[in-house]
């Protein structure tokens, strides 16, 4: 069996074929399917026959087939089933109207249950559509509302990592997103919270954050000439009492004492206040409360990031998601902003800049955030040289420094690109 070629793999992905199935296929069978000589179901049959004993493959194919059943005949059967049940309930209520309002109440409950089922079926359809879009090389669903309280900049969302984060959020698990600066960790958290309509309280860490900023503190207030002591709830207390997602940005920059405090909260979902009139009061987290943190590293300062190592006991409270730069999403962003030809050159320049960083020639790498800034500068009328200098080269040093000069040399690789007005 000849291994599936890269070009064939891309065609299979565009057709929406599951990743594991693509890995298990061989070139001849894949080409039979792509040429239309066999259908998708026949391809699965031949693949399973050749890969007997591959339990993981059998499980994936079974899920694919099960999903089709839910979309097709089973869904219709469910609809007919609940329609009959509703008619039965209506008839029962009519027959018992003389016995008070109990029958009517039951009918209302049936209607509410049916509405819930309908909403869940629509939600499943939306998620399946997103999966199909991703399999075809698309992106996540974009927010179309004019008012976004989560302040999501969708340009930054790493498609697959954002969806994984959202799934963990749905499962009620504490999350630690780790990855280089500008790769979209915080934006992915914002996006996931928005898609789930989850309230969010965000705090940014630094070495001098005090515990009372999170727990709360007692302060003196003068009202009508009278000085009184009042309690000011901290960000963590507010999140716990409202059942919100507590987002700790730059968690690896937090003092060790803050990390330990959040370790206790993540474990017990309780917080004991230590100050003022509420000293000793125990805050119980309401349902929905979770801790989601972002960090550049797990092991402390690296030269590029001034960080504190995350304590291993604290780390064990989280599901850790490893983030990196999503080059497919970056390419689509480029193409949408400046067209395919310019996008190809810009992405080549970013690849060279990142290689300089990996080779130790510059001290800072370029992230998706830098790319978005550069594209916005181009759209706002800045020249290519100006946009590259402001958003990219200057990240690696002052004008005239070795890092800056080396980054500006990369611009020669994208000369010939039209300056975008």
Concatenated DSSP letters of 371-407: HHHHHHHHHTT--HHHHHHHHTGGGG-STTSHHHHHH
Would you tell me how many other CB atoms lie within 10 Å of the CB of residue 377? 20
Query: What is the rounded CA–CA span in Å between residue 411 and residue 392?
Result: 10
Tens digits of residue pLDDT in 140-186? 445 544 567 888 875 655 568 889 999 999 999 999 999 988 888 99
Domain boundary residue, one of 17, 41, 71 = 71
Same structural domain for residues 55 and 86? no
Q: 185 lies in which domain range? A: 154-322
**8 Å CB contact between 385 and 410:** no
Same structural domain for residues 199 and 212? yes
Same structural domain for residues 230 and 258? yes
Same structural domain for residues 338 and 247? no
Estimate to the nearest angstrom the gap between the alpha carbon of 173 and the chain centroid: 14
Domain boundary residue, one of 273, 297, 322 = 322
- With tokens 């089922």, the residue in question is 117
Same structural domain for residues 122 and 247? no
Query: What is the rounded CA–CA span in Å between residue 85 and residue 358?
Result: 64
Same structural domain for residues 249 and 170? yes
Among 200, 209, 201, 186, smallest CA distance to 259 is for 209
Q: Which helix (H) or strand (E) holds 24?
A: helix 19-24
In a domain, 419, yes or no: no
Length of the chain: 421
In a domain, 143, yes or no: no
Query: What is the rounded CA–CA span in Å between residue 110 and residue 206?
Result: 53
Domain boundary residue, one of 277, 299, 322 = 322
Domain count, the chain: 4
Same structural domain for residues 171 and 310? yes
In a domain, 420, yes or no: no
Among 133, 145, 101, 68, smallest CA distance to 328 is for 133
Same structural domain for residues 246 and 292? yes
In a domain, 421, yes or no: no
Same structural domain for residues 113 and 162? no
Task: Give exposure, 270-296, as e/b (b: 16+ Cβ within 10 Å).
Answer: ebebeebebeeeebebeeebbbbbbbb
Query: What is the rounded CA–CA span in Å between residue 127 and residue 78?
Result: 19
Which residues on neighbouring strands pair with residue 176, listed in sequence order? 293, 320
In a domain, 149, yes or no: no
In a domain, 144, yes or no: no
DSSP E strands in 296-356: the ranges are 319-322
Same structural domain for residues 202 and 267? yes
In a domain, 102, yes or no: yes
Query: What is the rounded CA–CA span in Å between residue 31 and residue 81?
Result: 42
Q: Which CATH number goes with the domain that contains 195? A: 3.40.50.300
Tens digits of residue pLDDT in 248-307? 999 999 988 899 999 999 999 999 998 877 888 999 999 999 999 999 888 754 445 546
Average pLDDT of each block of 10 consecutive residues along the chain (421 residues)?
80 81 88 84 88 85 65 45 56 54 60 66 63 54 60 68 92 94 89 92 89 87 87 93 95 90 94 85 94 86 57 90 88 88 90 91 89 90 91 92 93 57 35
**8 Å CB contact between 9 and 34:** no
What pTM does this model have?
Answer: 0.61
Same structural domain for residues 246 and 342? no
Helix H segments across 269-323? 312-315
Same structural domain for residues 129 and 21? no
SS3 30: helix
**8 Å CB contact between 397 and 404:** yes
């Amino acid at each position: 069996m000849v291994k599936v070629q890269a070009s064939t793999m891309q065609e299979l992905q565009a057709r929406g074929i599951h990743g594991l199935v693509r890995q298990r296929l061989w070139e001849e069978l894949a080409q039979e399917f792509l040429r239309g000589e066999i259908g998708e179901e026949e391809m699965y049959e031949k693949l399973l026959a050749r890969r007997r004993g591959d339990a993981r493959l059998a499980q994936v194919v079974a899920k694919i087939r099960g999903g089709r059943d839910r979309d097709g005949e089973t869904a219709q059967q469910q609809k007919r089933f609940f329609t009959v049940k509703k008619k039965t309930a209506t008839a029962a209520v009519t027959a018992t109207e003389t016995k008070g309002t109990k029958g009517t109440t039951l009918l209302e409950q049936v209607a509410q249950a049916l509405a819930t089922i309908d909403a869940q079926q629509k939600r499943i359809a939306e998620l399946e559509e997103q999966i199909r879009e991703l399999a075809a090389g698309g992106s996540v669903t974009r927010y179309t509302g004019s008012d976004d309280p989560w302040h999501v900049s969708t340009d930054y969302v790493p498609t697959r990592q954002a969806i994984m984060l959202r799934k963990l959020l749905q499962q009620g698990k504490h999350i630690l997103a780790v990855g280089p600066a500008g790769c979209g960790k915080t934006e992915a958290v914002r996006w996931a919270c928005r898609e789930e309509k989850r309230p969010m309280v965000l705090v940014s860490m630094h070495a001098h954050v005090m515990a009372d900023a999170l727990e709360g503190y007692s302060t003196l207030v003068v009202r009508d000439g009278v000085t009184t002591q009042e309690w000011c709830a901290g960000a963590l207390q507010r999140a716990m009492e409202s059942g919100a997602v507590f987002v700790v940005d730059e968690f690896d920059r937090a003092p060790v004492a803050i990390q330990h405090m959040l370790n206790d909260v993540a474990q017990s979902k309780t917080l004991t206040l230590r100050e003022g009139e509420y000293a000793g009061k125990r805050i119980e987290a309401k349902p929905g409360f979770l801790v989601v943190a972002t960090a550049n590293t797990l092991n402390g300062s690296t030269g590029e990031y001034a960080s504190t190592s995350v304590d291993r006991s604290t780390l064990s409270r989280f599901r850790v998601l490893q983030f990196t730069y999503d080059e497919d999403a970056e390419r689509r962003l480029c193409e949408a902003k400046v067209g395919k030809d310019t996008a190809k050159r810009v992405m080549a320049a970013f690849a060279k800049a990142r290689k300089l960083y990996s080779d130790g020639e510059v001290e800072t790498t370029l992230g998706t955030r830098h790319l978005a800034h550069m594209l916005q500068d181009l759209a706002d009328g800045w020249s290519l040289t100006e946009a590259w200098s402001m958003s990219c080269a200057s990240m690696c040093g002052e004008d005239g420094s070795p890092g800056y000069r080396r980054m500006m040399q990369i611009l020669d690789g994208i000369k010939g690109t039209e300056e975008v007005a």
